Amino acid sequence: MARRRRIYEGKAKVLFEGPEPGTLVQYFKDDATAFNNKKQGTITGKGVINNRISEFLMTRISEIGIPTHFIRRLNMREQLVREVEIIPVEVVIRNVAAGSITKRFGMEEGTALPRSIVEYYYKSDDLNDPMISEEHITAFGWASPQEMDEIMHMSLRVNDFLCGVFLAVGIRLIDFKLEFGRWWNNEDLRLVLADEISPDNCRLWDVETNEIMDKDRFRRDMGGVEEAYQEVARRLGILLDSNSPGDMTGPSSLQ
Ligand code: TMP
């Protein structure tokens, strides 16, 4: 494989220069972190599964008219995406209380929220991703008021849509995190959904049993992490080629 320029390495993914200008290759690692990198580990095969799950969900989302950075999957661990300018805001959408909101407001995990709640966090590992309001975002110039209107509107549409996609396969979408980017399409500037959507950044519970099927299994040392990710993929109808174990672990394109 030809050597490619590494543009950025995050906790779960690596971005390489793409084959054409304006594109990047997004490589999914098996590395898992939690609590802003304080807990580190490996979930064998996670990169392969998240590549497929994110491909599936981004494709379905683009089919309802929400633009995304996703172009196409290249292989087991890589997808071609548009090069975008990431807005440094993590958008969290919650349907049911779990995780940090339960601690912040002393709520019991599993409590249905009166309506879907959208929260914003500043994307900064150094500052531990502090929660912010739209005031901070617009005052500090991270996004314009018009962009924030669009982000809120797109996030709620994605939430409604994904709730249905998951419910159809017996999974409750408790909460999830989205990232957005600015994409220059010739002269045209568009806001697009970026990053990934996978059990790494969603909370997914079985409708019948409330069994946890996401990264909380890793965060809370519950075991069965790989199996849970596999089960999400299986229920979504994503077939994983179990005959190519080499691809499950080999970071073929890493330099
Ligand atoms: P929280 O309850 O820890 O605030 O997380 C809410 C949702 O956002 C949950 O589905 C996990 C996801 N998330 C990320 O994807 N990245 C992060 O850095 C954090 C803190 C949460």
DSSP assignment, residue 108?
Answer: P
Percent of the chain whose predicted confidence (pLDDT) is above 70? 93
Cβ-proximal residues to 77 (8 Å cutoff; 6+ apart), any chain: 27, 28, 29, 47, 48, 51, 247, 251, 252, 253
Domain boundaries, the chain: 6-84+225-248, 86-206
Considering the four listed CATH numbers 3.30.2140.20, 3.40.30.10, 3.90.1640.30, 3.30.200.20, the one that applies to the domain covering 6-84+225-248 is 3.30.200.20
Query: With 80 as the cut, is the pLDDT of residue 241 above it?
Result: no
| Cβ–Cβ under 8 Å, residues 143 and 89 | yes
Per the model's pLDDT, the better-predicted residue between 42 and 255 turns out to be 42
The two three-digit tokens of residue 120, written as one number: 């914003």
Report the nearest atom of ligand 1 relative to the CA of 36.
18
Q: May I ask the CATH class of domain 86-206?
A: alpha beta
Alpha carbons within 13 angstroms on the beta-carbon side of residue 22 total 7
**With a 6 A CB cut-off, is 99 part of the ligand 1 pocket?**
yes
Report the nearest atom of ligand 1 relative to the CA of 99.
2
Instruction: State the Cα–Cα distance between residues 253 and 181, nearest whole angstrom.
Output: 25
Coil, strand or helix at 146: helix
Instruction: State the Cα–Cα distance between residues 138 and 216, nearest whole angstrom.
Output: 32
Instruction: State the Cα–Cα distance between residues 17 and 253, nearest whole angstrom.
Output: 12
**With a 6 A CB cut-off, is 69 part of the ligand 1 pocket?**
no
**With a 6 A CB cut-off, is 177 part of the ligand 1 pocket?**
yes
Ranges 106-120, 142-156, 238-252: which has the least confidence: 238-252
Report the nearest atom of ligand 1 relative to the CA of 101.
2
Q: Determine whether 208 is exposed, middle or buried from the number of CB atoms within 10 Å of its CB (0-12, 13-18, 19+).
A: exposed
Instruction: State the Cα–Cα distance between residues 107 and 111, nearest whole angstrom.
Output: 7
Q: What is the pLDDT of residues 62-87, one digit of tens each?
A: 999 999 999 999 999 999 999 999 99
Location of structure tokens 């497929």 = 52
Report the nearest atom of ligand 1 relative to the CA of 175.
10
Q: What is the pLDDT of residues 156-167, one digit of tens each?
A: 999 999 999 999
**With a 6 A CB cut-off, is 205 part of the ligand 1 pocket?**
no
**With a 6 A CB cut-off, is 224 part of the ligand 1 pocket?**
no
Coil, strand or helix at 111: coil
Mutation to probe ligand 1, out of 92, 101, 202 (largest number of atoms < 8 A from CB): 92
- Phi-psi region at 36: left, alpha or beta (left = phi > 0; alpha = psi -120 to 50): left
Q: State the pTM of this model.
A: 0.94
Q: Determine whether 129 is exposed, middle or buried from the number of CB atoms within 10 Å of its CB (0-12, 13-18, 19+).
A: middle
Range 166-179 average pLDDT: 98
Query: With 70 as the cut, is the pLDDT of residue 250 above it?
Result: no
**With a 6 A CB cut-off, is 178 part of the ligand 1 pocket?**
no
Instruction: State the Cα–Cα distance between residues 226 and 42, nearest whole angstrom.
Output: 10
Q: What is the pLDDT of residues 124-144, one digit of tens each?
A: 999 999 999 999 999 999 999
H runs (alpha helix) in 41-144: 46-63, 100-105, 134-139
The two three-digit tokens of residue 95, written as one number: 């349907």
**With a 6 A CB cut-off, is 67 part of the ligand 1 pocket?**
no
Q: How many Å lie between the centroid of ligand 1 and the Cα of residue 159? A: 15
In this structure, which residue's CA is closest to atom 4 in ligand 1? 100
